[in-house]
Amino acid sequence: MNETKRVSRGKDWWRGAAIYQVYPRSFQDTTADGIGDLQGVTLRLPYIASLGVDAIWLSPFFTSPQADMGYDVSDYCDVDPMFGTLSDFDEMLAEAHRLGLKIIIDQVISHTSDQHPWFKESRSSRTNPKADWYVWADPKPDGNPPNNWLSIFGGPAWEWDGVRRQFYMHNFLTSQPDLNFHNPDVQDAVLKVLKFWLDRGVDGFRLDTVNYYFHSRGLENNPPADPDAEMGNDAPDTNPYGMQQHLYDKSQPENVDFMKRIRALLDLYPDRATVGEVGDGTRSLQTLAAYTSGGDKLHMCYTFDLLGPEFSAAHFRKCINAFETKVRDGWVCWAFSNHDVQRHVSRFIAHPDERDHMAKLCLTLIATLRGSICLYQGEELGLPEAELAFEDLRDPYGIRFWPAFKGRDGCRTPMVWDSTARHAGFTAADKPWLPVSRAHTGLAVDKQDRDPASVLNHYRRMLAFRDEHAVLREGRFRFIDTNQDLLVFEREREGERFRFYFNLTRSPATIEADRVLSEAVPVALPGFPPQEAGESVLILPLSVVCFRLPVAE
């Protein structure tokens, strides 16, 4: 493939950016140990640039015991040997910048590994200098944990420590103790970590579980969830975590001031950006609004609203309209897939024959919304969720809740590069860390690269189309009312006005042409033929039509 170099967009490059998530463990192995590494990322940077994205979100590569695949950090300022060295990182960063790609790195700062020196010191006594760096609490008189808070990964959010004779809080694994952000020294230490990477030249941070930093000092019990209320997507319904309203263990008001401290640090460096992960059930969009408004906190956030199984015009309209209504001056980053959820073509299709078409339709939809977009490695190939045997699982979340919930390994299997090579070109090792799915091999990059009609080439064409029309990156957004099961909206900016009709059903739809459509010009979207606006317009199942309209006066 030809080398592609992106053009810089200045300090607001993140606004409307297309961000490609790389999960380093599964991207490219260059050392034949079965695990992807930073040199592998560097090797594949030209491929990423060829997609037409603006930036890379690099999942954790820091020193870690790997109990949660790197989301349990024991040294924030070094590279885990399985991924390489700091020199490998610097080389990767320099090559990305040469190609015009920004690098956003994951920062997992709500908690550390229990092997982090900070925690080892904190748990050693109740009087050491870091005694209050984590969330410690005395047991109830009967020896039970201090309250009813739950871990997302199962069981109580409290673990007993025999040395301190206290419980410590953990929102995830017992080996992932939560930092105490009420302590200013903890905030300062975390900001020092961010400064280390900013000084090294990274372009920004993806902030893992950004609304989990603070807990309520009062340690009040969470109330039960309203059984009649709409559930969020924070946890599968097989997990009792969803049975509580998480009023006190996350999303505390003190977090807003810390977001301001993060922004103040980034503002000292030109052209840097933050994207926060917000998991807050039905309150996610309110939290997103609070964290991105005013221009003095995070640049953008994403939620789990589009990461669930719902695929309908009504659902998308509800989510998008809620964002447009509640997030007045903030910014959202939309995504259909990432390393934590089942791949979206598997969530949305009704039959395997729909896979490629669904992949193309979903990109076309997300690329025409207002906001930035995040694409997860392999979705540009239309990869379905991989089916794994229990003995192949590595994800502690899946192992804990199997078989009702199969975990996250199915979306984390290795990238498929070469359909003729062993392990699809991912590794020369005898065995990769997760098996390469047989269902993926025939969808490898080498096959799709030379097929003009492939999902891969659709991604390239659609992202190029988005780049060519600034209205899709920066334009205003408004829904158009319809009495049919369609998602209809307009994008408008400085003399350019598009209207999109998305039919997300399995039946054709016909719309009667109104006065505006009678003056419209059909637009040929990549992969979807244009439709003339006569007395009516036919929209095929799982399809979209687009018109260029006269600019509203």
The answer to whether 385 and 517 have CB atoms below 8 angstroms apart is no
Helix runs in 201-312, H state only: 254-266, 284-292
To the query of whether residue 277 is one of the catalytic residues in this protein, the response is: yes
- For the chain, how far is it from start to end, CA to CA, in angstroms? 45
Say which of 37, 54, 249, 277 is annotated catalytic. Answer: 277
- 270 contacts 201 by C-beta, under 8 angstroms: no
Single-letter residue type at 275: V
**Which residue, chain included where needed, has tokens 């991604």?**
459
Q: Which residues pair with 105 in a beta bridge?
A: 58, 205
Cite the beta strand spans of 217-316 per DSSP E: 273-277, 300-302
Overall size of the chain counted in residues: 553
Q: Is residue 283 within 8 Å of residue 226, measured between CB atoms?
A: no
For residue 99, what are the CA distances in angstroms to 5, 313, 437, 546? Answer: 5, 37, 31, 32
The answer for residues whose C-beta is within 8 angstroms of residue 38's C-beta and 6 or more apart is: 24, 61, 79, 83, 84, 88, 89, 91, 92
**Which among 487, 523, 482, 525 is positioned nearest to 503, based on CA atoms?**
487
Cα 173 from Cα 67, distance rounded (Å):
8
Structure tokens at 304: 């789990």
Q: Is 208 a catalytic residue?
A: yes
Q: What are phi and psi of 259, to 5 degrees?
A: -60, -35
User: How far lies 210's CA from each of 102, 264, 488, 542, in Å?
Assistant: 21, 17, 32, 35
Annotated catalytic residue, options 80, 208, 305, 356: 208
Burial class (CB in 10 A: 0-12, 13-18, 19+), 270: exposed
Residue 478 to residues 317, 323, 364, Cα–Cα distance (Å): 11, 12, 17
Task: Read off the amino acid at residue 439.
Answer: A
The phi and psi torsions of 370 (rounded to 5 degrees) equal -80, 125
Q: Where are the beta strands (DSSP E) in 23-85?
A: 55-58, 62-63, 75-79
Look at residues 211, 361, 371 and name the one whose alpha carbon lies nearest to residue 288: 211
Q: Cα dist. 301→7, 146, 278, 286, 304 in Å? A: 24, 32, 7, 11, 10
For residue 138, the tally of other CB atoms under 10 A from its CB is 11
- Residue 151 CA from chain centroid, whole number: 21
How buried is residue 151: exposed, middle or buried, by Cβ count under 10 Å (0-12/13-18/19+)? buried
CA dihedral 222, 227, 229, 232 (to 10 degrees): 60
Catalytic residues: 208, 277
